[in-house]
Amino acid sequence: MKQILTIEALQEEASNFAGMETSHDEPSLYGVTDGKAVGTYLEQKFTSYLAEEYEYEQGNSASGIDLPDLGVDIKATSIKQPQSSCPFKSASQKIFGLDYHLLVFVYEKSDDDQRRTGRLTMQHTIFAEKERTADFQTTKGLLEILEREGNKDDVIAFIIERNLPVDEIGAEQLADKILESPPNQGYLTISNALQWRLQYSRIIQKAGEVSGITRIR
C-alpha cells in the first residue's frame, strides 16, 4: 500500500531527492543549456520518485500546479538566474500571493566532457508557504502605507504607481480588500508580464530566517 503524501513527507522526500540528484550523472543532460528542458527533467523525475512510494493527485493543465491536492507547485531553476514563470490569474496575486505553496529546487549544472554526462548539484531546496508568495516590494510598500494611516486614495495611488495590471474599477476593489484584510509580507520578486516572472533570490536569502520560508536542504 502506498502512503498518502503530506506536506511534511513532501519536504522530507525533497531533501532526500536533492541529495541523491547531487551525486547523479545523467547522460541525457550532457550539453543541454535550455533551462526549461533541465527544469522539466528535474520536476518530472521528482514526481516519478514520489509516485513510487506515495499516493497523490498528479497535476494537469486544468489544475495548473504539480500537486493540486497539496496545493504545491514544483519549480526547478538554475543558481545562475533563479527564476521561472507562472500563469497570470489576476493582479491580486502580486499582493496576496499565488494561492499555492512553492517547492523550489535551485541547481548548478555542470558537464563531464570525458564521460559525456551532466550533473545537477543542488544548491538550495526551499519550501515557500503560499502566504509568502506575494511580491516583496509591493507588499512592503502597502504595509508601510497602512502603518502610516494611509486611506483608500493612498492605496489606489500606490497600485497605479506600481503599474499593476488592473483597471480603475479593479484598483478600487483591490484597495477595499487591502484595507479590509492587509496582505502578508511577500518574499518573491514578481515581474509584470503575460505570465508572471517569479524571481527567487530573496527567498534563497531569507530561507530559515522568516516564518513561512523553510530551507529543506
- pLDDT at 96 > cutoff 80: yes
- pLDDT at 63 > cutoff 70: no
CA neighbor of 106 nearest in space, from 132, 84, 88, 89: 84
In-domain check, residue 48: yes
- What pLDDT score was predicted for residue 195? 83
Q: Examine the domain organization and report whether 108 and 150 are in the same domain.
A: no
- What pLDDT score was predicted for residue 87? 87
- What pLDDT score was predicted for residue 75? 96
In angstroms, the CA 109 to CA 6 distance is: 29
Mean pLDDT of the chain: 95
In angstroms, the CA 208 to CA 77 distance is: 19
In-domain check, residue 88: no
In-domain check, residue 94: no
Strands 117-128 and 189-191: unpaired
- What pLDDT score was predicted for residue 64? 80
In-domain check, residue 20: yes
Of the pLDDT bands very low, low, confident and very high (cuts 50, 70, 90), residue 38 is very high
Q: Examine the domain organization and report whether 53 and 23 are in the same domain.
A: yes
Which range of residues forms the domain containing residue 42?
Answer: 3-82+100-131+193-215
Q: Examine the domain organization and report whether 113 and 209 are in the same domain.
A: yes
Q: Phi and psi (nearest 5°) for 67?
A: -125, 75
In angstroms, the CA 215 to CA 217 distance is: 6
- What pLDDT score was predicted for residue 8? 97
pLDDT digits 0-9 by tens, 153-183: 999 999 999 999 999 999 999 999 999 999 9
In-domain check, residue 185: no
In angstroms, the CA 93 to CA 197 distance is: 12
In-domain check, residue 90: no
Q: What would you measure as the largest C-alpha separation in the chain, in angstroms?
A: 64
- pLDDT at 192 > cutoff 90: no
Of the pLDDT bands very low, low, confident and very high (cuts 50, 70, 90), residue 62 is low
Q: Examine the domain organization and report whether 52 and 22 are in the same domain.
A: yes
SS (H, E, C) 136-149: HHHHHHHHHHHHCC
Q: Examine the domain organization and report whether 168 and 65 are in the same domain.
A: no
- pLDDT at 60 > cutoff 80: no
Mean pLDDT on 90-106: 96
Of the pLDDT bands very low, low, confident and very high (cuts 50, 70, 90), residue 61 is low
